[in-house]
Amino acid sequence: MASIASSSLYNALFRRNYTMLGAVFAGAFTFEMWYGSTMDKIWDKNNRGRQWKDIRSKYVEDAEEEE
């Protein structure tokens, strides 16, 4: 059951300190990536049409020159 999963997790990651530390760092990194992009998506949805990226296409002439 869950104990199998948790014990293999324990053996793989948490048993040795350096793997534990690595797991924490990697976890923080991936969480940050996921969280940042998700929240940005919500933000953009909430502000649709108000931000520069939403109206930029109306004014930019040569798409390659911008940025």
Partner 1 sequence: MLARSCLRSTRAIASARNGAVKITKRAASSSSSGSAADSPLRMNIAAVAATTVAAGSIAWYYHLYGPTAHAMTPAEEGLHAPKYPWVHEQFFKTFDHQALRRGFQVYREVCASCHSLSRVPYRALVGTILTSDEAKALAEENEYDTEPNDQGEIEKRPGKLADYLPSPYPNDEAARFSNNGALPPDLSLIVKARHGGCNYIFSLLTGYPDEPPAGAQVGDGLNFNPYFPGTGIAMARVLYEGLVDYEDETPATTSQMAKDVVEFLNWAAEPELDDRKRMGMKVLVVTSVMFALSVWVKRYKWAWVKSRKIVYDPPKSGNSRH
Among 36, 37, 41, 64, binds partner 1 (CB under 8 A): 36
> What minimum distance in Å lies between the beta carbon of 33 and partner 1?
13
Among 5, 17, 59, 64, binds partner 1 (CB under 8 A): 59
Q: Whole-angstrom Cα distance, residue 11 to residue 53?
A: 47
Any contact of residue 46 with partner 1 (CB under 8 A)? yes
Residue whose token pair is 């953009």: 44
Q: Where are the alpha helices (DSSP H) in the chain?
A: 2-9, 17-46, 52-59
Any contact of residue 64 with partner 1 (CB under 8 A)? no
